Amino acid sequence: MQTNFDISQEDQYDEDALLFEHASEKLITNSDSVDDIDISQHVIDKNELDSEDEELEYQKPDEDELDTQEQSLRSPFNTHIPMQPTWTPSIIAEMRRVVHKYSRDTLDEDDEDTYDPAMVAEYAPEIFNYLHELENKLAPDANYMDNQDELKWEMRSVLIDWVVQVHSRFNLLSETLFLTVNYIDRFLSKRKVSLSRFQLVGAVALFIAAKYEEINCPTVQEVAYMADNAYTIDEFLKAERFMIDVLEFDMGWPGPMSFLRRTSKADDYDYETRTLAKYFLEITIMDSKFVASPPSWLAASAHYLSRKLLNRGEWTELHVFYSGYTERQLRPVAEILLESCRHAETNHKAIFEKYSERRYRRSSIFVQEYFDSL
């Protein structure tokens, strides 16, 4: 049988890859579990910032690149113009100054995290330096859809909307959702997928991410049921092995939740601010512009926008220190996220409904009321 699922440039496919070819053509439309679906480097090394002996070589931003950033702000939601944080000489100089001002060689006796073993305060700087390295290393290709024959960015949005619904039904952690999306994008960056197999990729990615993040994760039988039993248990397990192999066993992508918690330290971990920020952060997974954007940048942008809407004051030096980004770098993302909320039920229906619930402090409703008050 001729395959529609191009998993490599070679003529011969391995055994695990063939499972996608033999998978059912039926798409995931289980009305009992989910809604019907119709699918037709920016890291600055902190040591470099701390070093006053070494001079940074500044490069003037390319004018075409700046024009592209401005165009992305004027474009409709989900227009694919990949976005990355801007680094200019003035921004780098400000970061160097803030890091030099707030860095400590000893633990702060007035900081509660110092006495919490779970926070491992003595290793926090090294941990987050490493996470910044990983977020670039494990980033997907920002333009991978150019290499797909049957898929388009709009189809990705539909798939992610379904993933959000299934994730919510299983009541999984936020980390699991972001990790699932990363697995999907990284897999599609390396393998061509036919339209009929597209949802299998999403289901398997969710299954793997849940096993990585959750204490009590869904069983393969439960995931197969949510996929309307379109694929056998054996097919799911083979697909799991194949996806892990394609991702080269690099499963520990640092999602934005860790960076969001780090940034919220500047607000004494204010719950209301962070909950609203989580809503804005989840919106980013729907927009292809942010496919390869650093999760630390997206987390800081969501936190920045949350503070603005809640009137929490200015973006202080402590926020710059803990997030790693200045206000100038965060404003472009914040403007895009806020604009997308004007038509929330169109741009991210599942996320809007999820965050309208009481347990999320009805964050999406709060944003709509903000627009009504303007």
Tokens of 153: 């960015």
Model pTM? 0.81
- CB count within 10 Å of CB 96 equals 17
Domain boundaries, the chain: 15-24+139-246, 255-374
Query: Is residue 69's pLDDT more than 90?
Result: no
Tell me the DSSP string of 228-257.
TT-S-HHHHHHHHHHHHHHTTT------HH
Cβ-based neighbour number of residue 363 at 10 Å: 23
pLDDT higher at 349 or 6: 349
> Residue 16 CA to chain centroid, in angstroms?
28
Q: Tokens 């996470």 correspond to what residue?
A: 131
On whether the CB atoms of residues 228 and 30 are closer than 8 A, the answer is: yes
**Is 151's pLDDT higher than 50?**
yes
Fold designation for 255-374: Cyclin A; domain 1 (1.10.472)
Percent of the chain scored above 70 by pLDDT? Answer: 79
Degrees, nearest 5: CA angle 225-148-239: 35
Q: Could you tell me the pLDDT band of residue 9, with boundaries at 50, 70 and 90?
A: very low
SS3 106: coil
Average pLDDT taken over every residue of the chain: 84
Which residue, 264, 253, 299, is CA-closest to 279? Answer: 299
295-330 b/e (C-beta count within 10 Å ≥ 16 → b): bbbbbbbbbbbbbbbeeeeebeeebbbbbbbbbebb
User: Residue 147 is encoded by which pair of tokens?
Assistant: 């290499």
Choose among 292, 34, 298: nearest CA to 184.
Answer: 292
DSSP string covering 33-100, please?
TS--------PPPHHHHH-SSSPP---PPPHHHHHHHHHHHHSPTT----------HHHHHHHHHHHH
Average confidence (pLDDT) over 246-275? 97
pLDDT at 15 over 70: no
CATH 1.10.1660.10 given to domain 15-24+139-246: no
Helices (H), the chain: 15-22, 46-50, 63-74, 89-102, 124-137, 153-169, 174-190, 198-213, 220-226, 233-246, 256-264, 271-283, 295-309, 317-323, 327-340, 344-347, 349-354, 363-373
**Which of 284, 232, 228, 282 lies closest to 37 in space, CA to CA?**
228
Domains 15-24+139-246 and 255-374 alike in fold: yes
